[in-house]
Amino acid sequence: MPSRPLIPIVLLLALAACGKGKPDADALAGRDPAVAGALADPVMADPDLTSQNRGNAALSGGGPASGEIPPDKRGQEEIDRAKAEVITLLGRTAPPAPMAEASDAVSAAVQAPTAAALARALPFAAPCAGKLAYSAVWAAKLPAKLPVYPRAHVREAAGVDDAACHLRVVRFITPVAVADVIDFYHALATAAQLPAARRKAGDDQVVGGVKGSGGWMLFARQRADGLSEAQLVTAGL
């Protein structure tokens, strides 16, 4: 029958069409490095997953891919683990920070809905605020002398590195009390010979200072759910 010789041709065309769906290695290699890095980043929302690469988790099967953020860890066991890591970092328990030296009616952090808005509100960070890029990667790029609080859950991170600007803005959550967070950063700054004046601003506890053309500032408050929320800004450090 005249139609039979066409069958192998149709099959070959179908196979060729399927082959076109295979991703080109050169195209993947040329992908935006920032996007590629973000896809392969650890899950920074959960301190127990910071060493895991979940870049291909959506391909593992067993159900639809999920972008759900793990719940914030809380409870005395988690608090004890965080404090134990503080002792490891500092070599001792963080000594109590001095009492607040001054008080402001309103906190700049509470009035700032974004990392860029907070940076604009701080004179030492404002010149670079417009250059901020958002990515969890920036939390890992904080100055070594002012890292994220041990076992904290990062909720927002932004930063920029260029010839003129070295700025980081990171917001995180921890079950540890606000006073302990302030004590930790005051101890770190003192060890690094950074200014560390403490003040109160509205319901926020604040510690930080300016050094040359740069500086740092931490704003911490207790949330209604009992967790502590903090925003850390560093510039030129």
Q: Which residue has the tokens 């980043």?
A: 41
Whether 43 has a pLDDT exceeding 90, the answer reads no
Give me the pLDDT at residue 73, please: 72
| Least confident interval from 22-26, 73-77, 93-97, 186-190 | 22-26
State the pLDDT confidence band at 195, using cuts at 50, 70 and 90. very high
Model confidence over 81-111: pLDDT tens digits? 999 999 999 999 999 999 998 999 999 999 9
**Any idea where the domains of the chain sit in the sequence?**
6-59, 76-235
Q: What is the mean pLDDT of residues 115-119?
A: 97
127: DSSP letter: G
Q: Between 179 and 13, where is the model more confident? A: 179
Give 47's contacts (C-beta < 8 A, 6+ positions apart). Answer: 73, 150, 151, 152, 153
Q: How confident is the model at residue 74, as a pLDDT? A: 80
- The pLDDT assigned to 70 comes to 55
| pTM, 2 dp | 0.72
Neighbours of 229 (CB within 10 A): 21
